[in-house]
Amino acid sequence: MTERTPSRARVHAPGAALEVQPYDFESPELISGDVRDRLDAALEAWGRQLGMQITATTRAVVDVATAPSRIQSFGAYIASADGPTVWATASADGGRVLYRIPADEARYWAARMLGAPGESDGGGALTAVERALARSAAVEHLTELPAATDALLPEPTLEAFGTEPPGSVDRDAQAVVVVVGTLRKGVRRQLALALDVDLVLDRLGQVAPAQDAAEVTTRVSGHLALAPVEVALRFAPTRVGPDTVLSLAEGDLIPLAHYADRPLLVTLDGEPVLHAAVGGNGERLACVVVDSNGGSA
């Protein structure tokens, strides 16, 4: 008979600090390190150029501060619009580009181009003139992408301009690289640009072959299997009244509802998964697992 060798689990020392980095599945880390820095620097340069263009067309000093780029779904990007929005839909190298402009900002641009003060309560749909002037400004902003980013990003071709986002995209499956620019002037508003993630990865030289769905599932399962969890040994719960707890003193005994011949529960993050008996490992207490996945061990 072959003697069975007990399996050893990875055990962390009691009280050891574990560094666990949360992963945001809505913003996957497809671009990182120096490549991410290169992309953000290029988008920051485009933001500066954007500020100069808006200043030139509106005759009002405007700075555009860009935040670090992030990856999210088209649906999340569209849903993050705050208030009435104008959408400039474009294409570049076969990928989708979507430029988001607050309607009040588009109205402000048009008013300044016509010599009006610009800032007002706004409201209502854009007039035909306002729409045409804002569209012209959006085209200029998108045209600056290749020059401002030193040809890292291509020049988009405008396809549509209106108050509705494109309906021909898969909002849940299709991912985009998003950069948000905050306009620093009297009223702070945010512009945002979304570029098809495959388009950006291709320009960055980071395209990898698509992984098989089964392989992705296997890898995720492997990562989850190595994720640290809290293991505890638990008696069956015992109910007592508050008066019993308040009257406890040193040396008092509390009879437990757990019978001495019954195994204890092994819990993972509070959820019972196995049964075990009390044991020892050198000078430390341990437990001896008595079942595994419903079978004897």
Q: What is the predicted pLDDT for the residue at 104?
A: 92
- Does the residue 26 lie in any domain? no
Q: 20 in a domain, yes or no? A: no
**CATH code, domain carrying 116:** 3.40.1550.10
Q: pLDDT of 40-81, one tens digit each?
A: 999 999 999 999 999 999 988 999 999 999 999 888 999 999
Mean pLDDT taken over the chain = 84
* pLDDT score of 26 more than 60: no
Please report, for the domain that includes residue 275, its CATH number: 2.30.330.10
Lowest mean pLDDT across 167-176, 225-234, 278-287: 167-176
Q: Indicate the pLDDT class of residue 296, thresholds 50, 70 and 90.
A: very low
> What mean pLDDT do residues 144-171 have?
89
The span from the CA of 97 to the CA of 136, in Å, is 16
Are residue 236 and residue 120 in the same domain, yes or no?
A: no
Beta strands in 150-294 (DSSP E): 157-162, 175-184, 190-196, 231-234, 264-268, 271-281, 284-289, 291-292
User: Whole-angstrom Cα distance, residue 48 to residue 60?
Assistant: 15
Q: What is the pTM of this model?
A: 0.62
Q: For residue 236, what are the domain limits? A: 228-296
The reply to whether 74 falls in a domain is yes
- In this predicted model, which residue has the larger pLDDT, 119 or 108? 108
Residues 127, 53, single domain; the answer is yes
Same structural domain, 145 and 200: yes
| Number of structural domains the chain divides into | 2
Let me know if 2 is exposed, middle or buried by CB neighbors in 10 A (0-12, 13-18, 19+): exposed
Would you state the structure tokens that stand for residue 230, as one six-digit string?
Answer: 């809290």
Predicted local distance difference test score (pLDDT) of residue 7: 46
Residues 102 and 192: their CA atoms lie apart, in Å, by 9
Write phi, then psi, for 162 (nearest 5 degrees).
-175, -175
- Is the residue at 221 inside a domain? no
Q: Which of 54, 204, 31, 40 is nearest to 144 (CA)?
A: 54
